Amino acid sequence: MNACRIDGCESRPRPGRSLCRKHQKRIARYGDPHFTQWSVADEFDVDLVVRERRPAGDLTRLERVLVARGLTDRCVPGEEIARIVGVTPRTVWRWRAEGFKQAA
Ligand SMILES: [Zn+2]
């Protein structure tokens, strides 16, 4: 099967496309497949990470906060959340203390 044409991306594009959903959207929106900024969140990515509880490196700051919030809602321990979103447990506890709103 074809993988997304962006180097290092293993997501599978839809049939007939050369880019995965995320990169296709980034290029459409920003003209740059690697564009990220802390305030950008891809709901699809956030949902996926929350559902699968799989460590994800390629998240924006906002996505990390949203994933942490989603996992907290599912009663996932702080240490586990920290591992999944790639921050220290202390950061997760701080986000919780702030109610995630300020962090985001
Ligand atoms: Zn891709």
Please tell me the pTM assigned to this model.
Answer: 0.61
* CA proximity to 88, closest of 78, 98, 74: 78
Q: Tell me the C-alpha distance between 92 and 67, whole Å.
A: 11
Which pLDDT value is given to residue 38? 59
Cα(10) to centroid of ligand 1, in Å?
A: 7
Cα(33) to centroid of ligand 1, in Å?
A: 8
Q: Do the beta carbons of residue 27 and residue 38 sit within 8 Å?
A: no
Query: Which tens digit of pLDDT belongs to each residue from 42-66?
Result: 777 888 888 988 887 678 888 899 9
Q: Which residues hold their Cβ within 5 A of ligand 1, which is an ion?
A: 4, 6, 9, 11, 20, 23
Q: Do the beta carbons of residue 86 and residue 60 sit within 8 Å?
A: no
Per-residue confidence at 102, pLDDT binned at 50, 70, 90?
A: low
Q: Could you give the percent of the chain with pLDDT greater than 90?
A: 33
